[in-house]
Structure 1
Amino acid sequence: MNNLNDTLPDLMRRATEHLEPPSTDLVERGMRHGVTLRRRRIAVRGLTGATAVLATLGVIVGGTQVFGSGEPAGEAPAAGPATASAVAKVGAVTQKETLETLLALLPPDLKVGQEQTWGFPGFNGAAVVVDDGKGPSKLSIAVSADGQDGTCVDPQPGTCVRRPDGSLITVSAKEPTYGEGNPGGVVRNSVLVTRAGVGSISLISFNAAEEKGVDKSRAEPALSVTALTALADDQAWRFPAKQPIPSSNPAKPEPKSPGAGKPAVPVQQTLQTLRNVLPKGLTVTRPQTWGGGSEGHNGAAFVIDDGKGLSRIDAFLTYEQPVTKCGPEGIPNCRVRPDGSVVGWVKNEPVYADARQKVNGVVSSRVEIHYPDGRMISMTSYNGPQEKDARHTRPKPAFSTDQLLQMAGSKSWAFPGTK
């Protein structure tokens, strides 16, 4: 397992990710919005981890574990247990038992409701909404088998601290759910404790009844970092057993990509083709490319101005396993053309599904063409200069789906192989 810089964000967010709406399928396999755009987003932006703030919280890693800074006055410090690993119970713990343990450990004066459980082998999750009279506050818990999540190798200062009992702890206080000004004002306190040879436990307290898509319901989360640490260190928790590595037959090899052996296409060529297919008379700025070489995909973008406001236009080209029909689920429009190609399109689609949409108001129109030989091109037009992290600059995207399909269908596009 890698450093907790990589594992903590996954664990902390997994507790509530089951509440996120699934990404919409465009057509079977190849026409998923996430599939066609994920590599572009990763290449352009990269991934960021959660903010770890042990140093700023005044952590003492001697005989006592203290979280002082930012905690309510008069609250007792939380100490790591001296024999946590020795007495922890590991076995076939159910999701229901994890929820019941959480309920039993909560202060009796809290009003508790909206109980939930989820999980998979080696991982149990549960959540409740508590109210201490100051407003509802969601509380999530996750217990994991040893090595399933949270293991921290060579902990670094301010990221993961080893306590005297051998356990590792990472905390975050009042961490915003979103960047960009954090619309909705939802913040969270979180604690992750990994007990050597036993398992990991994470707890997250929000200042709202949900993590996302709502406004805050109180000034601060109901449970402080100190209170969450005390819960995590309680010996009542049972941890799922470590899962054996499957010994089944090896998975079937991935089918050969239709782009294998075909020459790569310089990304600057893709950028120039995008420029050539755009209508004349536009002000074209902010050229951008990604992919290229042996990546197997090319991306290019401009910001254009037709006199009605800035609008970003993207093109993404790759080879995929051929798509021959529209899937059972999909965005509003999809059809198979007489030449066997599959096209899909969506108009004025919000780029956010939460409170950020109200703030930025960016929408996009998008088209995709999937050819029988595996070539795929998607083009997206926004009503702003970028997909996210900026406000819209015009009521609608600059290009309609008909215009996007016409540009995407140009014979001048060269599709990148993986040779």
Structure 2
Amino acid sequence: MSEPDKFEDDLLYAITRTGEGFRAEQGGLVAGGYQRGRRRWRRRSTAALVGGAAALALVGTGAVYLVGHPAKDAGTVAASPARTFTAGSGTPVATPTTAQPSAPNVVTGDEVLATLRALLPKGETTQGKGRGTDDEQTKGTFAAADVVFDDGRGKSLIQIGIQKHRPGQGQSNSCPADLKLAQLDSCTGTTLPDGSRLQLLQGYEYPDKRATTKEWHALLTGPDGREISLSEWNAAAEKGAPDSRPEPPLTLDQLKSIVTDKSWDRVVASVGFDGVDVTALDPGLSLEEREATLTRLLPPGVTVTGRSGSPLAATFQLAQGQTTGSVVLRVENRAKSADEQAYKDALTLPDGNKVLTRGGPDGADKMPLTVNALHPNGIAVTAAQGPSGKPLLTEEQLRAIALSPAWKAGK
């Protein structure tokens, strides 16, 4: 997916997720695919734990990384008491007795932490914390652990996070074309025999190098949807902690060995898919069918000149004389969903339709003018002013489009 297409997909998701809040992250969107990609799994964590907000970079995924580094966030995770653990030289060792095996479909934070510790080379680990799939905040869609590791040459924070995405919803892990522009010392991308994609990079805590703290990173994405992200620093904590050693302790080969280890298979199996299940929401309407319906609902003089989008949401280019604009249209089938919470603040009309209007020039949430309608037949329609051109549709016209009885599920 190209960067312009990715931007459109991000925007479509962000402005049409009813009832989930909105945060403008335009800076992260336009800064480039690399900077957005390598931090996406952490930004997801922030968004989900403040209430499921749909930030521009989420693109339908909402899993969380909030284990936090040992020096901070002490109250966010129910961590086991800090203890010292010495691992072998790259080979798995016995799980600590404090991490008892859980039920087959659940992995506890202690188990995730024990797995990470067992895969580290010889050294001392302290201040360990883990988050498992039994965590109520993430609802089984995320697992993570972090430790402070010391191989005798200085302490290092090491963090791992594990998510699972549906097809087409994972992040790209390709390397940037210009390493200097991306402020990286190295980056490699490799396709493994099983079809997994591995990215290994050496960079810095702050891409502008305002501090000398280095961050080395491994990202594994697999055909089964897994995304295993492992980071290490040459400091005992993120963001402002003094450097404790010249470089992070693990080599790139060691990072690769950890993220590709089969020990994570059970964790991956336990993690639920995050994001929106597009298949369940598909109303059975093709882009052509949605365009035909939209065309009939547009006011006189406004025509459709182009379209682009996904199975659920699309941007339609509009024209009125010499003036051009666009409208974002999202049509979902919620007949099989119990998601009424999204419309809890909506106005219920006499015909049973529920309508919710947000955004606009004076909107506090700084989102485009957006009308969401939930029809009694379970079809949810969102009509919003699009990202290109001038606004050609008024609030009343968007409302008429969203509330029209013409929207029905396809075959």
| Range into which the TM-score falls when normalised by the shorter chain | 0.3 to 0.5
Structure 1 length normalisation: TM-score? 0.43
- Which of these two proteins has the greater Rg computed from alpha carbons? 1
